Amino acid sequence: MASLRDIKSRINSTKKTSQITKAMEMVSAAKLNRAENNAKAFVPYMEKIQEVVASIANGSSDVSHPMLESRQVKRTGYLVITSDRGLAGAFNSSVIRAAYQAIQKRHKSNDEFVVIAIGRMGRDFFKKRGMNVISEIIGVGDETNFSQIKDIASGAVNMYADETFDELYMYYNHFVSAIQQDVTEKKLLPLSDIASSDQKLTSYEFEPNQEEILQVLLPQYAESLIYGALLDSKASEHAARMTAMKNATDNAKELIGGLTLTYNRARQAAITQEITEIVGGAAALE
């Protein structure tokens, strides 16, 4: 059995840990509120640009663009969004596992796919396994703005246009609520879901013409999907970290309760032992 000093030391260290996890929980809660607002504020823009692009793509059979047309798949791209830090429960491992399992299922050789990594955790995972990470970005701040990921977003679109890969899948955590984040797989390129959209479309007049507008709008739309997924992922990250730190704090409190009970029992046993020794010594002197 551990000594009273060892138990007391463990109680003190666990209390300090619980203070840290409680502080991290509160920080993540504050960041979650801002990240959730940012993600929601971006939705109207993304919906509007999708509506305009769909109106052009479906409004005329004469309009075409390489980003709307499927082609023979020789190589597949995977854009995986994770965080730079851990301590967020299954936030990183779940999205990495989904992407990794999809790659293992679909491909037999590293030549058949490439990985674009946003976040240190995903980048390190795929690099350690010798997978072809052709583009990466780390250090994306909590207050994310488009300029931080513009290069990698536009680079992904350009690589599709240059036929570096023939389709692009995106993996990220979709924010549902503070206690639920769903791993999401989205086929980003080609933009086939727009071309087949059956929603009611608004009629627009275009100047100079539809094809020239598509040349500008389609890359912007694809980039906005990446940025929107990153905002969604940031909100999910803070929610997952807040929940993980709350669970850690609760576990620490439970552990402290158990250790305190053990300490009190050991202390009582030591006092009883001392009293017994004193009584025994007094009896021996009589």
Burial zone of 81 (CB within 10 Å; 0-12 exposed, 13-18 middle, 19+ buried): buried
Higher pLDDT, 210 or 4: 4
Mean per-residue pLDDT, 87-102: 93
What is the per-residue pLDDT across 243-283, written as a single tens digit (0 to 9) for each?
999 999 999 999 999 999 988 988 888 888 888 878 877 77
- Residues of the chain within CATH 3.40.1380.10 domain(s) are 31-241
pLDDT digits (tens, 9 = 90+) for 3-34: 888 889 999 999 999 999 999 999 999 999 99
d(CA 143, CA 190): 29
> Which percentage of the chain shows pLDDT scores above 90?
46
Those residues with Cβ within 8 angstroms of residue 245's Cβ, 6 or more apart along the chain or in another chain:
21, 22, 24, 25, 28, 87
- The Cα diameter of the chain in Å comes to 116
**E strands, the chain, where?**
76-81, 113-118, 133-137, 167-177, 180-189
Domain 4-25+244-285 bears CATH identifier 1.10.287.80 = yes
Superfamily name with CATH number, domain 31-241: ATP synthase, F1 complex, gamma subunit (3.40.1380.10)
Q: What is the pLDDT of residue 59?
A: 59
pLDDT digits (tens, 9 = 90+) for 139-172: 888 877 888 888 888 888 888 888 889 999 999 9
Beta-sheet pairing, 133-137 with 76-81: unpaired
Q: Does the pLDDT at position 197 exceed 60?
A: no
Q: Which helix (H) or strand (E) holds 196?
A: none
Q: Where in the chain is the domain with CATH 1.10.287.80?
A: 4-25+244-285
Q: Is 130 helix (H, G, I), strand (E, B) or coil?
A: coil
Supply the pLDDT for residue 70: 82
Q: Please, which pLDDT band fits residue 221 given cuts at 50, 70 and 90?
A: confident
Cα separation, 133 vs 116, in Å, equals 6
Question: Strands across the sheet with 133-137, in order?
Answer: 133-137, 113-118, 76-81, 167-177, 180-189
Q: Which two tokens stand for residue 116?
A: 């674009």
DSSP state of 111: G
